[in-house]
Chain A
């Protein structure tokens, strides 16, 4: 009888568990589904100056407007040891004011393209985003920028159309392969310009691992190609 009861309980249990199906539920910590995920490796970081959270984030940098506008999307990162892998999930589209406006009535183009630097920083003020004055030297109240991806940029494109792609291809304004650009988020690798007068450019690439280096490494390495703005 004991064996029979055990069998019955087993059958009931297995049946109940087998009946479980469907989507995974979420609790209050759920942020939504990421629109884009940047996977990378922190190779090195500048030394920290305080015991605060270190984040990896994308800093959207609107270079086309008067006065840069910056916003940040972040993910926590451990700096206990390097190299340290990180995953940066981007849940929100960048705000409209963070995007460069490529609309031009004369040219017949309409579109917005944003460029985002992938950085690591200490959130000294604890606001969850990168706080910076935008000056070369850190100002009081700035968070500590400890590293950056020297070879990759996040790109967000809104209203991608053939006219915009043709414009970007013909004039080499920013992206060497605009035909690969898709609406929404893209990952681009920096392409060094040929000649001192030319701007570096960006090449849309499939999602790949993004190395992130310390600011000291970037400042001391002349071979980097970050002059595309």
Chain B
């Protein structure tokens, strides 16, 4: 608790770091997919440091010449690179120049050291070498298993609100460590994001979505807070479990450290994310690379991206929206002004999107051809349940039909209760959903008679196979109306004479109209 208070106090006391001509920023970016021989190789560590490098260059004021990117290095090579960078900082530093050193590591680690292609670099050594740099401010960002060892503190959430930085406030001095996990946790990668969770969200933060006070600057605190919250939320449902980023600050000053200035960097287009929800922004189209994933709660945020065409998905609990937008190198496009298509979760599930649930219920009514000769056309009503998945839609139905006939000797009524399960393939065509499929099940028949003759009631269970085609029209708020035609084959035994019985497979047509709701 004491450590947490100290950390919070340090954050509140941050002073602004003005990335102006008097500030030099240096970065050492280290990525290692391969750790020790027994460790499963990572997939995205190298991609993560490349993205980090591009983001720092575009948005963070880091000159390319001031960034060192090491892919799959040994421990000695990291030591050497950091020593050389520190030496350069010392040589280029002057009393009038503020300097920032950022060391970013993505790879394997354990409680004692980083694992670098079979070699080990102790945490303490990395911390000391970073903290001991002559740069005015030193930041160590570690996205690795058990990287909480680097922070040596257990704080996982920053206090708020932050003090607004004064433009003329002195730059922060000191040392800060951000880690993607607590000491005992595993850092996780996501195939869907194509990145580790923490780095992905940290980069999104630097692109502007963490700019809580909308001053055009993303501070260290804002970036960490956003990345931390999103990492916890994103890993809540993973098999490896929750991942809690941690921090350690020992910075002096009255304003926060500005990590990126999204609206002021290299020519970028602004995309104002208006309205709450989860945003997935992909390059070019629905299957393009994921450029940004952001979660907006209440206040709008502006993400700054390189010019180009983007495919936007905005997810809400009950539905999602999608559309395209083209960003230019100047200006901000407000998504609220873009005409985005509304898509229900059932459609999203059918498109292969990940949704927690996508199901629908419906009520149907109509008529069917009689299953027994001489009977009237039965009316029928049906309750349906459907579970939409990417490959098929699973159906379960419960239906009630009733028919009858008036005879010279006897009148008869036939009541059927049908239960069936099956699968449909659904094709979304604009506001329509066309589908076809098969179901199997059974009908419980109850046949009763009225008249003076001896005719006890008859009860029978008949198996059925249904082939159906269906057309739905999507309505607002998840409602839909539909038409369904079914060809049903039953197997039953029918009394055809005084002592004769035949096995029959009558074929029926069933025509239904219905209304339902999707979730």
A interface with B by C-beta (< 8 Å): 12, 16-17, 19-35, 37, 87, 89, 91-92
Contacts and interface: CB of A to CB of B under 8 A. Distances in A.
Dominant secondary structure of chain B at its interface with chain A = strand
A28 B374 contact: yes
Contact of A32 (B375, B414, B451, B493): B451
B460 A30 contact: no
Nearest to A37: B498
A27 B494 contact: yes
A35 B454 contact: yes
B459 to A, nearest CB: 5
Contacts of B447: 23, 25-26
Contact of A20 (B374, B451, B454, B493): B493
B465 interface: yes
B459 A23 contact: yes
A30 B414 CA distance: 13
B453 interface: yes
B461 A21 contact: yes
Contacts of A92: 452-453
A25 B370 CA distance: 13
Judged by DSSP, the binding face of A is: loop
A25 B448 CA distance: 10
A20 B491 contact: yes
Contacts of A25: 372, 414, 445, 447, 458, 460, 492-495
Interface in B51-72: none
B317 interface: no
B272 to A, nearest CB: 53
A78 to B, nearest CB: 14
Contacts of B463: 16-17, 19-20
Given A25-B458, A31-B410, 16 more contacts: A16-B442, A20-B460, A20-B491, A22-B459, A23-B458, A23-B459, A24-B495, A25-B414, A26-B372, A26-B412, A26-B458, A27-B374, A28-B372, A28-B374, A35-B454, A37-B498
Nearest to B414: A25
B374 A29 contact: yes
A28 B456 contact: no
A32 B408 CA distance: 11
A24 B459 contact: no
Contacts of B465: 16
Interface of B: 372-375, 405, 407, 409-410, 412, 414, 440, 442, 445, 447, 449, 451-456, 458-463, 465, 491-496, 498-499, 501
B412 A33 contact: no
Contacts, number: 98
A37 B497 CA distance: 13
Residue of A22, A27, A87 contacting most chain B CB atoms (<10 Å): A27
A28 B440 CA distance: 28
Contacts of B498: 34, 37, 87, 89
Nearest to B462: A20
Contacts of A23: 447, 458-460
A22 B491 CA distance: 12
Contact of B409 (A12, A24, A31): A31
A181 to B, nearest CB: 20
B493 A24 contact: yes
Nearest to A32: B453
A23 B372 CA distance: 14
B396 to A, nearest CB: 17
A32 B454 contact: yes
Nearest to A16: B463
A198 B462 CA distance: 61
A55 to B, nearest CB: 15
Given A12-B440, A16-B463, A16-B465, A26 B453 contact: no
A28 B447 CA distance: 12
Nearest to B444: A22
Nearest to A28: B374
Contact of A30 (B412, B442, B459): B412
B498 to A, nearest CB: 5
Given A21-B461, A22-B460, A30 B445 contact: no
A27 B442 contact: no
A28 B253 CA distance: 96
A21 B444 CA distance: 10
Given A33-B453, A91-B453, A28 B407 contact: yes
Contacts of A91: 409, 453-454
B461 A19 contact: yes
Nearest to B458: A23
Contacts of A12: 440
Contacts of B440: 12, 16
B504 to A, nearest CB: 9
A34 B414 CA distance: 21
Given A25-B414, A89-B498, A91-B409, A32 B491 contact: no
A89 B449 CA distance: 19
A54 B514 CA distance: 54
B455 A16 contact: no
A224 B458 CA distance: 45
Contacts of A31: 409-410, 453
A140 B10 CA distance: 126
B163 to A, nearest CB: 68
Contacts of A26: 372, 412, 447, 458, 494-495
Nearest to B453: A32
Contacts of A22: 445, 458-461
Nearest to A19: B463
Contacts of B455: 30, 32-33
Contacts of A89: 498
Contacts of B494: 24-27
A37 B409 CA distance: 17
Which of A12, A33, A34 has the largest number of chain B CB atoms within 10 A? A33
A33 B498 CA distance: 8
Contacts of A16: 440, 442, 463, 465, 491
